[in-house]
Amino acid sequence: MNIRITLDGKEIETTAGTLLVDVAADNGVYIPTLCYQRGKPCLGTCRACSVRVNGNVMASCTVPVAEGMTVEVDAADLNDMRKALVELLFAEGNHNCPSCEKSGRCELQAVGYEVGMLVSRFPYRFPPRTREHVAKYIWLERDRCIFCQRCVEFVRDHETGRKIFTIDDRGTHASIEIDVALADRMPPEQVREAAELCPVGCIIAKGVGYDKPIGQRKFEVKSIRERTLERSRK
Protein backbone atom coordinates (compact mmCIF):
# COMPACT_ATOMS: atom_id res chain seq x y z
CA MET A 1 0.00 0.00 0.00
CA ASN A 2 1.39 3.37 -0.93
CA ILE A 3 1.68 5.83 1.91
CA ARG A 4 3.22 9.25 2.49
CA ILE A 5 5.73 10.16 5.17
CA THR A 6 7.80 13.27 5.87
CA LEU A 7 11.55 12.72 5.85
CA ASP A 8 13.68 15.67 6.95
CA GLY A 9 10.88 18.04 5.96
CA LYS A 10 10.34 16.46 2.55
CA GLU A 11 7.20 14.60 1.75
CA ILE A 12 7.85 11.25 0.11
CA GLU A 13 5.80 8.36 -1.14
CA THR A 14 6.66 4.83 -0.11
CA THR A 15 5.25 1.41 0.72
CA ALA A 16 3.78 0.71 4.12
CA GLY A 17 5.76 -1.72 6.26
CA THR A 18 9.12 -1.07 4.62
CA LEU A 19 11.89 -0.51 7.15
CA LEU A 20 12.54 3.17 7.70
CA VAL A 21 16.30 2.81 7.28
CA ASP A 22 15.73 1.39 3.76
CA VAL A 23 13.15 4.02 2.85
CA ALA A 24 15.66 6.70 3.78
CA ALA A 25 18.38 5.10 1.66
CA ASP A 26 15.98 4.78 -1.27
CA ASN A 27 15.42 8.50 -1.00
CA GLY A 28 19.10 9.39 -0.88
CA VAL A 29 19.31 9.85 2.90
CA TYR A 30 22.17 7.90 4.47
CA ILE A 31 21.64 6.58 7.98
CA PRO A 32 24.67 4.79 9.46
CA THR A 33 24.19 1.19 10.54
CA LEU A 34 26.52 -1.35 12.10
CA CYS A 35 24.39 -4.40 12.86
CA TYR A 36 21.72 -3.99 10.18
CA GLN A 37 22.24 -5.34 6.69
CA ARG A 38 19.68 -4.75 4.01
CA GLY A 39 17.74 -7.86 3.15
CA LYS A 40 18.54 -9.57 6.45
CA PRO A 41 16.32 -9.57 9.56
CA CYS A 42 16.88 -6.59 11.82
CA LEU A 43 19.00 -7.15 14.94
CA GLY A 44 18.57 -3.77 16.60
CA THR A 45 21.71 -4.09 18.68
CA CYS A 46 23.96 -1.18 17.77
CA ARG A 47 21.49 1.74 17.74
CA ALA A 48 23.77 3.67 15.40
CA CYS A 49 20.79 4.29 13.08
CA SER A 50 18.80 6.22 15.68
CA VAL A 51 16.50 8.92 14.27
CA ARG A 52 13.43 10.78 15.53
CA VAL A 53 10.04 9.35 14.56
CA ASN A 54 7.01 11.44 15.51
CA GLY A 55 9.09 13.08 18.22
CA ASN A 56 10.58 9.88 19.71
CA VAL A 57 14.08 8.58 19.17
CA MET A 58 14.13 5.10 17.66
CA ALA A 59 16.50 2.81 15.83
CA SER A 60 15.39 3.21 12.21
CA CYS A 61 16.18 -0.41 11.36
CA THR A 62 13.41 -1.47 13.74
CA VAL A 63 10.69 0.86 12.43
CA PRO A 64 8.31 -0.17 9.61
CA VAL A 65 7.01 3.02 7.99
CA ALA A 66 3.35 4.00 8.40
CA GLU A 67 1.13 6.65 6.89
CA GLY A 68 1.81 10.19 8.04
CA MET A 69 5.05 9.50 9.94
CA THR A 70 7.31 12.47 10.53
CA VAL A 71 10.97 11.48 10.51
CA GLU A 72 14.02 13.54 11.36
CA VAL A 73 17.48 12.26 10.46
CA ASP A 74 19.57 15.37 9.94
CA ALA A 75 19.26 17.40 13.15
CA ALA A 76 22.15 18.67 15.26
CA ASP A 77 21.14 16.74 18.38
CA LEU A 78 20.54 13.52 16.44
CA ASN A 79 23.80 13.79 14.54
CA ASP A 80 25.60 14.24 17.82
CA MET A 81 23.77 11.37 19.43
CA ARG A 82 24.69 8.96 16.64
CA LYS A 83 28.25 10.14 16.89
CA ALA A 84 28.19 9.53 20.65
CA LEU A 85 26.89 6.00 20.08
CA VAL A 86 29.79 5.26 17.76
CA GLU A 87 32.25 6.79 20.21
CA LEU A 88 30.87 4.50 22.90
CA LEU A 89 31.60 1.48 20.73
CA PHE A 90 35.20 2.59 20.36
CA ALA A 91 35.55 3.38 24.06
CA GLU A 92 34.06 0.04 25.04
CA GLY A 93 36.58 -2.19 23.23
CA ASN A 94 40.25 -1.98 22.42
CA HIS A 95 40.68 -0.61 18.92
CA ASN A 96 44.06 0.03 17.37
CA CYS A 97 43.17 0.77 13.77
CA PRO A 98 46.71 1.45 12.50
CA SER A 99 47.81 -2.14 12.88
CA CYS A 100 44.38 -3.78 12.51
CA GLU A 101 43.96 -5.84 9.39
CA LYS A 102 40.32 -4.77 9.06
CA SER A 103 41.37 -1.15 8.68
CA GLY A 104 40.01 0.26 5.42
CA ARG A 105 37.43 -2.53 5.31
CA CYS A 106 35.97 -1.98 8.75
CA GLU A 107 32.39 -0.75 9.06
CA LEU A 108 32.93 0.70 12.52
CA GLN A 109 35.86 2.73 11.26
CA ALA A 110 33.95 3.76 8.12
CA VAL A 111 30.91 4.82 10.15
CA GLY A 112 33.27 6.65 12.52
CA TYR A 113 34.40 8.73 9.55
CA GLU A 114 30.82 9.29 8.39
CA VAL A 115 29.64 10.63 11.74
CA GLY A 116 32.71 12.86 11.95
CA MET A 117 34.22 11.21 14.99
CA LEU A 118 37.77 12.31 15.78
CA VAL A 119 38.16 11.06 19.30
CA SER A 120 35.89 9.51 21.89
CA ARG A 121 34.40 11.94 24.41
CA PHE A 122 34.00 8.99 26.79
CA PRO A 123 36.90 7.56 28.75
CA TYR A 124 38.26 4.39 27.18
CA ARG A 125 37.51 1.32 29.24
CA PHE A 126 40.51 -0.73 28.13
CA PRO A 127 38.73 -3.96 29.04
CA PRO A 128 41.00 -6.97 29.44
CA ARG A 129 39.67 -9.40 26.82
CA THR A 130 41.31 -12.67 25.92
CA ARG A 131 41.72 -13.82 22.35
CA GLU A 132 40.36 -17.08 21.05
CA HIS A 133 42.64 -18.82 18.62
CA VAL A 134 42.00 -22.50 19.18
CA ALA A 135 39.82 -22.93 16.08
CA LYS A 136 41.70 -24.01 12.98
CA TYR A 137 40.67 -21.34 10.53
CA ILE A 138 39.17 -18.55 12.60
CA TRP A 139 40.72 -16.15 15.04
CA LEU A 140 38.56 -14.13 17.42
CA GLU A 141 40.21 -10.83 18.26
CA ARG A 142 37.71 -10.07 21.01
CA ASP A 143 39.16 -6.62 21.69
CA ARG A 144 37.27 -5.44 18.61
CA CYS A 145 33.86 -7.09 19.07
CA ILE A 146 30.93 -4.66 19.18
CA PHE A 147 28.34 -7.36 19.99
CA CYS A 148 26.29 -6.68 16.90
CA GLN A 149 25.18 -10.34 16.86
CA ARG A 150 25.48 -10.68 13.10
CA CYS A 151 27.64 -13.76 13.45
CA VAL A 152 25.36 -15.21 16.11
CA GLU A 153 22.28 -15.03 13.91
CA PHE A 154 23.60 -15.49 10.41
CA VAL A 155 26.46 -17.98 10.61
CA ARG A 156 25.11 -21.50 11.00
CA ASP A 157 26.53 -24.96 10.66
CA HIS A 158 25.57 -26.10 7.18
CA GLU A 159 24.57 -29.58 8.29
CA THR A 160 22.71 -29.06 11.54
CA GLY A 161 21.75 -25.39 11.31
CA ARG A 162 23.23 -24.87 14.75
CA LYS A 163 24.77 -21.57 15.79
CA ILE A 164 28.55 -21.43 15.60
CA PHE A 165 28.96 -18.14 17.50
CA THR A 166 27.25 -17.16 20.72
CA ILE A 167 27.49 -14.30 23.17
CA ASP A 168 28.22 -15.44 26.66
CA ASP A 169 27.30 -13.49 29.81
CA ARG A 170 25.98 -9.92 29.87
CA GLY A 171 26.97 -6.28 30.08
CA THR A 172 30.64 -5.62 30.61
CA HIS A 173 31.20 -9.36 31.07
CA ALA A 174 29.78 -10.23 27.66
CA SER A 175 32.09 -12.25 25.46
CA ILE A 176 31.81 -13.63 21.96
CA GLU A 177 32.33 -17.39 21.92
CA ILE A 178 32.93 -19.87 19.16
CA ASP A 179 31.96 -23.54 18.93
CA VAL A 180 35.34 -24.86 17.88
CA ALA A 181 34.11 -28.24 16.66
CA LEU A 182 31.55 -26.63 14.39
CA ALA A 183 33.92 -23.89 13.30
CA ASP A 184 36.55 -26.40 12.27
CA ARG A 185 34.21 -27.92 9.75
CA MET A 186 33.27 -24.62 8.13
CA PRO A 187 34.24 -24.72 4.45
CA PRO A 188 36.76 -22.03 3.41
CA GLU A 189 34.05 -20.07 1.64
CA GLN A 190 32.01 -19.84 4.84
CA VAL A 191 35.06 -18.76 6.81
CA ARG A 192 35.55 -15.92 4.36
CA GLU A 193 31.88 -14.98 4.57
CA ALA A 194 31.96 -14.93 8.37
CA ALA A 195 35.03 -12.68 8.36
CA GLU A 196 33.34 -10.43 5.84
CA LEU A 197 30.09 -10.43 7.80
CA CYS A 198 31.73 -9.23 11.01
CA PRO A 199 31.59 -5.44 10.75
CA VAL A 200 34.87 -5.13 12.65
CA GLY A 201 38.11 -7.08 12.80
CA CYS A 202 36.96 -9.54 15.44
CA ILE A 203 36.29 -12.61 13.29
CA ILE A 204 39.37 -12.95 11.13
CA ALA A 205 40.49 -15.73 8.84
CA LYS A 206 43.80 -17.11 10.07
CA GLY A 207 46.99 -16.43 8.20
CA VAL A 208 45.59 -13.91 5.73
CA GLY A 209 45.20 -10.19 6.02
CA TYR A 210 46.60 -7.03 4.49
CA ASP A 211 46.12 -8.61 1.08
CA LYS A 212 44.72 -5.38 -0.33
CA PRO A 213 47.18 -2.50 -0.49
CA ILE A 214 46.37 0.85 1.09
CA GLY A 215 44.25 2.90 -1.28
CA GLN A 216 42.54 -0.16 -2.74
CA ARG A 217 40.69 -1.32 0.36
CA LYS A 218 36.91 -1.60 0.39
CA PHE A 219 35.92 1.73 1.89
CA GLU A 220 38.82 3.60 0.29
CA VAL A 221 37.53 2.62 -3.13
CA LYS A 222 33.95 3.52 -2.26
CA SER A 223 32.68 4.95 1.01
CA ILE A 224 30.16 3.18 3.19
CA ARG A 225 27.69 5.98 2.47
CA GLU A 226 27.98 5.50 -1.30
CA ARG A 227 27.68 1.74 -0.91
CA THR A 228 24.56 2.05 1.25
CA LEU A 229 22.82 4.46 -1.10
CA GLU A 230 23.87 2.45 -4.14
CA ARG A 231 22.30 -0.70 -2.74
CA SER A 232 18.99 1.11 -2.47
CA ARG A 233 16.35 0.25 -5.01
CA LYS A 234 16.39 3.52 -6.90
Partner 1 sequence: MSRKLVIDPVTRIEGHGKVTVILDDDNRVMDAKLHVVEFRGFEKFIQGHPYWEAPMLMQRICGICFVSHHLCGAKALDDIVGVGHASGMRILPAAEKIRRLGHYGQQLQSHTTAYFYLIVPEMLFGMDAPPEQRNVLGLVEANPGLVKRVVALRKWGQEVIKTVFGKRMHGISSVPGGVNKHLSIEERDRLLKGGDDLLSVDQVIEYALEGLELFYDFHEKHRKEVDSFAEVPALNLSLVDEEGNVDYYHGKMRIVDKNKSVIAEFDYHDYLEHFAEATEEWSYMKFPYLKALGREAGSVRVGPLGRVNVTRSYGENTPLAKAALERFHDYTDGKANDMTLHTNWARAIEILHSAELIKELLNDPALQEESLTLTPPESAWTGEGIGVVEAPRGTLLHHYRANREGNVTFANLVVATTQNNTVMNRTVRSVADKYLDGKAEITEGMMNAIEVGIRAYDPCLSCATHAMGQMPLVISVYDTDGRLIDERGR
The binder of 144, among ligand SF4, partner 1, none, by C-beta within 5 to 8 A per type, is: ligand SF4
The binder of 124, among ligand SF4, partner 1, none, by C-beta within 5 to 8 A per type, is: none
CA–CA separation, 46 and 34 (whole Å): 6
Minimum CB–partner distance for residue 11 and ligand SF4 (Å)? 37
Question: Considering the rule CB under 8 A, would residue 189 count as an interface residue with partner 1?
Answer: no
CA–CA separation, 166 and 115 (whole Å): 29
Helices (H), 48-106: 76-92
CA atoms within 13 A on the CB side of 200: 28
Minimum CB–partner distance for residue 127 and partner 1 (Å)? 15
Q: Which is nearer to partner 1, 122 or 210 (CB)?
A: 210
CA–CA separation, 36 and 147 (whole Å): 12
Minimum CB–partner distance for residue 15 and ligand SF4 (Å)? 30
Q: What is the secondary structure of 12-40 as a DSSP string?
A: EEEETT-BHHHHHHHTT-----SS--TTS
210, 221, 222, 230: residue in contact with partner 1 (rule CB under 8 A): 210
Contact residues: partner 1, CB under 8 A? 96, 98-101, 131, 133-134, 139, 141, 204, 206-216
